[in-house]
Amino acid sequence: MTYHHLANRICIVVAVLTLAIAGCGTAVVPTATPTNAPAGDALRGEQLFNNQIETQYLCNACHSLEAGKVFVGPSLAGVATSAAQRVAGYTAEQYLRESIVQPNAHIVEGYVAGVMPTNIGYQMPAQDLSDLVAYLLTLR
């Protein structure tokens, strides 16, 4: 086996292990939007949020879109604006993406950690995540 083949196999093993860890919800997620993230479709993201496409996400079961209307999770009214101001150095997209994939990374005041499932972002296909974030970015 040549060095090149061995290096390729090692890369494949590392990629598989990374995916396995991500499936467990324990992988470290970069704060920046991945350069290979698919373009988001806000209309489809709205359908995902409102359970008009069959998924297990159930976003609207815990998050309201009305200001002041409290569910289990914080209202997402105006989230595109507030997300851009929540963490220094983060764009709204980075904050929203990280909040879905690592929901305990940034807890909104008045809410507790551990309520949002920590594996939902890891189980979500990349396209669904991009679509959902694209939709949330329309909520100004």
What sign for the dihedral angle of Cα 129, 67, 113, 91? Answer: positive
Per-residue pLDDT at 32: 58
Boundaries of domain holding 81: 58-136
- Beta-carbon contacts of 15 under 8 Å, excluding residues fewer than 6 positions away, are none
Over pLDDT 90: what percentage of the chain?
A: 71
Residue 96 domain flag: yes
The CATH number covering residue 99 comes to: 1.10.760.10
Report yes or no on 9 lying in a domain. no
Mean pLDDT of 13-26: 42
Q: Is the pLDDT of residue 62 over 80?
A: yes
111-115 CB contacts, 8 Å cutoff, 24+ apart: 111/73, 111/74, 115/62, 115/72, 115/73
Domain membership of residue 16 (yes or no) is no
Number of domains within the chain:
1
Residue 107 resides in a domain: yes
Evaluate whether residue 115 is within a structural domain. Answer: yes
